[in-house]
């Protein structure tokens, strides 16, 4: 069976596929709407303080603030708070049980925790991030340095990494010494590199800045460390980190390599090229090649180029548990989310030649953007959006291709560039299958 060429009965089959496809799209949309509702409701719960059983007393003196929170949410979202509250709750429960008051019990215990080392404004945003996965609008840009320190002190790793990325993008002559001191204290290599690069390029302005003079006077080790780092920015390690930052800033992913292949596929050119080299009784059997590592979450971009052979191949992602030694028409089942090179139709998980976007030509670049948080896989042709989005994609998955005819070759390029907002202009594929191409 040649899934890419279409054939008789294609329309009937796609009509049968319509309801599962529509249901899959509705389920994916419902999941995203549900996730948005959870974020909204948890944020409202934090703001209201209703049913709170934890009170953080943040700051010192007249500027201290009390912030109500919920033990179960903090415990579920943060190992740091889980450990802290387990200890404090035991102490509070023991104190309550020894009280002579008969009107209270351990179930009514309200735990109060003093946080003196973190500014109230930063701790407020940290709590919101724990509850909702995001800070209030503008907070990251306004206080990334404070959030870096707060997230490090309270073990919120995701916010720590996000704060560091914001700081990398906002280093100036005036704040470079303060940012370097924080980066040095927390061991953030990228932020130290960027501070050293700016200091090297603007040495006179930096050494005349108030921040440099203050750190040199109060913390001479910081100034000496900055100078030493400036001498290290030409090292291979620093250059490698800079190259990765530039790729990420340009919307590019680090170039993956082919890592696995079925028996009928040969990898070459340093595992950047996969070629279908051996035919079999079934043209599709054992003809899958996998790129890079298993992906469990996050957003990933990559790009391939069709460099040889006929257009009868499919590409996208497959479930991580697929046995490459026993694949056969992987595109037909529920283990992959693919697009056809021949006509741009979607295959796998309820789709069969659905929503055809048009064919690729030899030499075309095929781009991908996988968002496992949203459960979507978007496709690009020579950098432009191409066709609808696969929805309902669930990790862990692997990037892969499946090839039918001998002589087909696909080459890995750099990460697939996604134009600003491009993925937002994709259509979400509907449930109605497209008529098979004659």
Q: Is the peptide bond before 127 cis (omega within 30 degrees of 0)?
A: no
Token pair of 240 as six digits: 């490698």
Give this prediction's pTM.
0.53
Q: What would the pLDDT profile of 318-376 be if each residue is shown by its tens digit?
A: 999 888 778 888 888 888 999 999 999 999 988 988 888 899 999 999 999 898 888 89
Burial per residue of 181-202, b for 16 or more beta-carbon CB atoms within 10 angstroms, e otherwise: bbbbebebebbbbbbbbbbbee
Looking at residue 388, what is its pLDDT? Answer: 84
- Calculate the average pLDDT of the chain: 80
Domains in the chain, please, with CATH? Answer: 39-93+110-170 (3.30.710.10), 189-249 (no CATH), 253-420 (2.60.120.920)
pLDDT at residue 88 greater than cutoff 90: no
Q: Once rounded to an integer, what is the mean pLDDT over residues 272-281?
A: 82
Looking at residue 179, what is its pLDDT? Answer: 94
Looking at residue 31, what is its pLDDT? Answer: 55
CA dist 179 and 182 (Å) reads 5
Lowest mean pLDDT among 92-96, 174-178, 321-325: 92-96
Looking at residue 282, what is its pLDDT? Answer: 60
Residues above pLDDT 90, as percent of the chain: 39
Query: 355 in the Ramachandran plot: left (φ > 0), alpha (ψ -120 to 50) or beta?
Result: left
Looking at residue 108, what is its pLDDT? Answer: 52
Task: Report in angstroms the alpha-carbon separations of 46 from 50, 124, 413.
Answer: 8, 10, 46
- Residue 226, helix vs strand vs coil: helix
Candidate ranges 5-14, 204-213, 250-259, 410-419; pick with highest mean pLDDT:
204-213
Task: Report in angstroms the alpha-carbon separations of 90 from 84, 86, 106, 245.
Answer: 10, 6, 10, 45
CA dist 241 and 223 (Å) reads 22
Looking at residue 300, what is its pLDDT? Answer: 86
Q: Once rounded to an integer, what is the mean pLDDT over residues 187-216?
A: 90
pLDDT at residue 6 greater than cutoff 60: no
CA dist 163 and 147 (Å) reads 6
CA dist 181 and 158 (Å) reads 21
Looking at residue 40, what is its pLDDT? Answer: 87
Looking at residue 28, what is its pLDDT? Answer: 53
CA dist 359 and 428 (Å) reads 19
The whole-angstrom distance between residue 226's C-alpha and the CA centroid of its chain comes to 31
Candidate ranges 108-117, 249-258, 313-322; pick with highest mean pLDDT:
313-322
Give the DSSP per-residue string, 284-344: TTT-EEEEEEEE-SSEEEEEEEEEES-S-EEEEEEETT--GGG-SSGGGSSSEEEEETTT-
Contact 354, 14 (CB under 8 A): yes
Q: Once rounded to an integer, what is the mean pLDDT over residues 105-124?
A: 81
CA dist 84 and 10 (Å) reads 60
pLDDT at residue 423 greater than cutoff 90: no
Looking at residue 284, what is its pLDDT? Answer: 85
Looking at residue 197, what is its pLDDT? Answer: 93
pLDDT at residue 426 greater than cutoff 80: no
Looking at residue 327, what is its pLDDT? Answer: 80
- Residue 205, helix vs strand vs coil: helix
Q: What would the pLDDT profile of 137-175 be if each residue is shown by its tens digit?
A: 778 888 999 999 999 999 998 899 889 988 988 899 999
Q: Once rounded to an integer, what is the mean pLDDT over residues 85-95?
A: 74
pLDDT at residue 429 greater than cutoff 50: no
Lowest mean pLDDT among 175-179, 296-300, 398-402: 296-300
Contact 384, 16 (CB under 8 A): no
Angle among Cα 389, 16, 381 to the nearest 5 degrees reads: 25
Looking at residue 288, what is its pLDDT? Answer: 92
């Amino acid at each position: 069976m040649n899934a890419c060429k279409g054939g008789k009965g294609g329309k009937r089959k796609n009509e049968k596929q319509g309801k599962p496809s529509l249901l899959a799209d509705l389920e994916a949309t419902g999941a995203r709407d549900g996730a948005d509702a959870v974020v909204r409701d948890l944020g409202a719960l934090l703001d209201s303080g209703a049913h709170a059983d934890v009170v953080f007393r943040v700051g010192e003196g007249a500027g201290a603030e009390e912030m109500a929170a919920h033990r179960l949410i903090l415990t579920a979202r943060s190992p740091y708070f889980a450990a802290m509250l387990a200890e404090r709750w035991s102490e509070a429960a023991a104190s309550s049980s020894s009280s002579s008051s008969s009107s209270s019990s351990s179930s009514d215990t309200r735990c109060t925790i003093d946080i003196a080392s973190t500014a109230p404004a930063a701790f407020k945003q940290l709590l919101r991030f724990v509850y909702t996965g995001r800070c209030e609008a503008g907070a990251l840009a306004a206080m990334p340095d404070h959030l870096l320190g707060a997230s490090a002190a309270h073990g919120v790793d995701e916010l720590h990494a996000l704060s560091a990325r914001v700081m990398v993008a906002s280093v100036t002559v005036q704040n470079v010494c303060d940012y370097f001191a924080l980066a040095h204290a927390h061991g953030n290599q990228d932020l130290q590199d960027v501070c050293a690069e700016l200091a090297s390029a603007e040495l006179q302005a930096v050494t005349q800045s108030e921040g440099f003079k203050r750190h040199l006077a109060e913390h001479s080790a910081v100034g000496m460390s900055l100078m030493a780092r400036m001498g290290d920015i030409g090292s291979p390690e620093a250059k490698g980190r800079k190259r990765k930052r530039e790729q990420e800033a340009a919307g590019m992913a680090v170039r993956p390599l082919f890592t696995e292949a079925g028996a009928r596929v040969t990898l070459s050119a340093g595992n950047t090229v996969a070629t279908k080299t051996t035919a079999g009784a079934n043209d599709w059997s054992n003809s899958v090649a996998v790129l890079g590592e298993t992906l469990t979450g996050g957003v990933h971009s990559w790009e391939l180029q069709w460099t040889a052979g006929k257009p009868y191949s499919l590409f996208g992602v497959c479930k991580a548990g697929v046995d490459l030694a026993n694949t056969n028409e992987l595109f037909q089942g529920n283990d992959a989310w693919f697009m056809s090179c021949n006509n741009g139709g979607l295959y796998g998980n309820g789709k069969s030649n659905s929503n055809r976007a048009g064919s690729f030509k030899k030499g075309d670049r095929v781009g991908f953007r996988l968002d496992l948080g949203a459960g979507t896989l978007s496709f690009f042709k020579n950098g432009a959006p191409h066709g609808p989005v696969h929805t309902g994609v669930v990790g862990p998955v692997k990037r892969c291709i499946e090839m039918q005819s001998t002589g087909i070759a696909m080459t890995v390029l750099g990460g697939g560039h996604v134009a600003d907002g491009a993925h937002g202009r994709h259509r979400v594929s509907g449930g109605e299958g497209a008529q098979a191409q004659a």
